[in-house]
Amino acid sequence: MLVGRERELATALAACRDAAEGRGSVLVVAGEPGIGKTALLETAGAMDRRCEVLRASGVEAESTVAFATLQALLWPLRNRLDELETGQARLVKSVLDLGPLVEATTFAVGAATLALLSVASRDQPIVVILDDAHWADVASQEVLCFVGRRLDSERVAVLAGVREGELCLLADERSFKHLQLIGLGTLDARSLLERSSPDVLAPSVVDLLLDACGGNPLGLVELPLLLTQAQRRGEAPLPGRIEAGPLVQRAFAARASRLDPEGWAALLLLAASGEADAALLLRVGVRPDAIDALDSSGLVDRRHGMLAFRHPLVQSAVYTAATPDERRKAHRMLASAMEGPRRAWHLAEAAVGPDESVAKALEVAAEDARLVGGRAAEAQALERAAELTPEHEQQARRLLGAAQAWRRAGRIEHANAIVERALPLAATARTRAEIQLERGSTLVREYEPDTSLDLLLAEADRAAPAEPKLAAQMLVKAAVAAHISADAPAAIALAERACMLAGRDGDRAELEAVNALVEVRTAAGVPPDEQDFALVARAAELLEHPELRTGSEEVHWISYCLALHERDEQARRFSDRSLAETRAAGDVWNLCYALYARAAIELVGGRIDVARTYVSEGVALAEQIGEPWRLSEAYGLLAETEAARGSLEECKRAVESKFEHYSRDPSK
């Protein structure tokens, strides 16, 4: 029975009750380690007997494996897959490793997951309990955020526990309800402490432990067990300094140390994997009696056939107590029994230095993650691969790939930091130029036109003799920088030079150059003529090739330009296709642009309310990413939309938000 959590438990039970009545929701429970998140979630799930409970815990060791947490959550529903539409069933089977790998995205996986939960909840309401959500892989977090925002009419509740101060998409989602757990009050803390002690505590000992724990329930339960009987009675001195966190971990480690060497090795294997079934431990050589010893240790629980630590601090205590050599050995043993991304990551944890074979395995894992839309998992794998790469040129290229994947995943600041790390490692002119193009593009988006213009022009001059198409791409970004500086003639001249260097080979360099010339001429207010439409038509022709649309921003602008040239039907067809493909690619960064480009098309056609729907979603995504360029563009179009609706106050607020993000210089 929980002590002192009546109000918090009532909140969690209300979410379960609402789900049973068709009003699904997400409740994020946050707090420090040991504060009682796990106990609250489990108690709520056990008390509402109307609901089927799906459980999973984020596992730190698998936080880099795309959809690892989602796989654990959905596994009990695998017998319901035949009730889904065929394509969605194939997709979920791919996530669950029950079928071949299907190229997909977090958006598509999110829709399939929502459909599966909806089907399963027809018979019985579902409560999804996700503990340690901050350790769930990012792809799973993205899917659960997608699902959570669409539960209003579903019989599904998601209860997620998050450690305070840790990064977590569910905790950052402002539309979800949040519940903050704090320490127990003095009376409740005293009651729990006295219940937890195996014998009577002396008053002086009670006061000292209450002060040390600060109301932390796990400390109140575990600390009395760390003391001797004489210390609990006040007949022997207590440890010189009592701190709940370190001592609780030490208590768990002390219990683990009572196992024989084989039991300890099995426990460390479990700590390195996060959770495992007995079959996995048997495959790596653990004997059945050692597995039985884990069951009886009081440190491990069995959940749906899986062995898992009863609290994250137990795992941390065991893993920390092991030597580096012991930890590496555990990861090597686990890698020998696994395949795919999990094997690659365990090999990475076992590495003692640069290892190209492991780096290549991580590169394969990154490609697998990209195929299923796990952009963050792709980025994590490439970043770790770079760390294990012995040769500088290859390391620079992997870092560049990681930075680009992080940007697509919406982690802009981290992407920028990785690009800076890559530059001094580049050994060839081409790699250096590609890195400088990424850096210059970032500076443009951060509204630093002078700095970006200098960098891009210098690098374009350097690259032009050997790499004219790459130089053209640099001049495209330089033209945008000149446009930001309100130098229309320079912007047009740079875009024209980019077109000359790119040539007419029907490739991405030509597409980017043609698009840039259309963009800067339109923005400069040059009266549209036959040349402009010829440029738009050429870009549209190029964009019929799928390989040129992949990851392309140009398709969104050209869709809008078609509307400006009164090709409304073609504009909407282009936009529909680009939105679908961008969502399918899991490209959040590019989706922002696709949404407000579509909103602009609707404005041109006079469909103001439809425009507002598109731009509102674009603003929400831009806020999630936090990049000034995306935010400024989104709020600018929102201002236009509100003005068209006659909502002058809303327009004013949007304009203020636009210029808040337009420049770090508040005078602009």
What's the pLDDT tens digit per position in 3-50?
A: 889 999 999 999 999 999 999 999 999 998 888 999 999 999 888 788
Calculate helix-pair angle for 186-196, 217-226, nearest 10 degrees. Answer: 40
Whole-number pLDDT of residue 147: 93
Mean pLDDT across 289-314:
80
What's the pLDDT tens digit per position in 423-432?
A: 999 999 899 9
CA 460 to chain centre: 34
Neighbours of 167 (CB within 10 A): 11
SS3 306: strand
Mean pLDDT across 439-466:
89
Residue type, 481: A
Mean pLDDT across 486-494:
93
| Element (DSSP H or E) covering residue 630 | helix 628-645
State how far the alpha carbon of 531 is from the alpha carbons of 477, 514, 519, 522, 564, in Å. 22, 11, 13, 12, 14
What's the pLDDT tens digit per position in 231-289?
A: 888 888 876 556 666 666 777 777 787 888 888 888 899 888 877 778 888 888 888 88
For residue 489, pLDDT over 90 is answered with: yes
Q: Which class for 665: exposed (0-12), middle (13-18), buried (19 or more C-beta within 10 A)?
A: exposed
Residue identified by tokens 């937890």 is 196
Neighbours of 3 (CB within 10 A): 20
Mean pLDDT across 176-184:
93
Of 662, 667, 605, 614, the closest CA to residue 638 belongs to 614
SS3 74: helix
Judge contact between 290 and 262, C-beta under 8 A: yes
Residue with the bigger pLDDT between 399 and 582: it is: 399
Residue with the bigger pLDDT between 119 and 621: it is: 119
For residue 159, pLDDT over 60 is answered with: yes
For residue 504, pLDDT over 80 is answered with: yes
Q: How open is the CA angle 215-218-219, to the nearest 5 degrees?
A: 65
Partners of residue 130 on adjacent β-strands: 56, 160
Judge contact between 540 and 558, C-beta under 8 A: yes
Mean pLDDT across 410-433:
91
Partners of residue 380 on adjacent β-strands: none
CA 380 to chain centre: 10
Whole-number pLDDT of residue 243: 60
Mean pLDDT across 354-371:
93
Share of the chain above pLDDT 70, in %: 96
Whole-structure pTM over 0.85, yes or no?
no
Judge contact between 327 and 349, C-beta under 8 A: yes
Strand order, beta sheet including 25-31: 52-57, 126-131, 156-163, 25-31, 177-180
Whole-number pLDDT of residue 666: 35
Residue identified by tokens 């420090």 is 32
Q: What is the DSSP annotation of 113-128?
A: HHHHHHHHTTTS-EEE
State how far the alpha carbon of 443 is from the alpha carbons of 57, 438, 646, in Å. 39, 9, 35
What does the alpha-carbon distance between residue 438 and residue 590 come to, in Å, rounded to a whole number? 15
Q: Which class for 283: exposed (0-12), middle (13-18), buried (19 or more C-beta within 10 A)?
A: middle
Judge contact between 540 and 548, C-beta under 8 A: no
What's the pLDDT tens digit per position in 57-111?
A: 888 878 888 899 999 999 999 999 999 988 889 889 988 988 888 777 777 888 8
Q: What is the DSSP annotation of 307-351?
A: EEESSHHHHHHHHHHS-HHHHHHHHHHHHHT--HHHHHHHHHHH-
What does the alpha-carbon distance between residue 255 and residue 45 come to, in Å, rounded to a whole number? 29
Mean pLDDT across 396-407:
94
DSSP code of 185?
P
Neighbours of 11 (CB within 10 A): 16
Whole-number pLDDT of residue 334: 93
List of E strands, 166-236: 177-180
List of E strands, 9-141: 25-31, 52-57, 126-131
Mean pLDDT across 591-598:
88
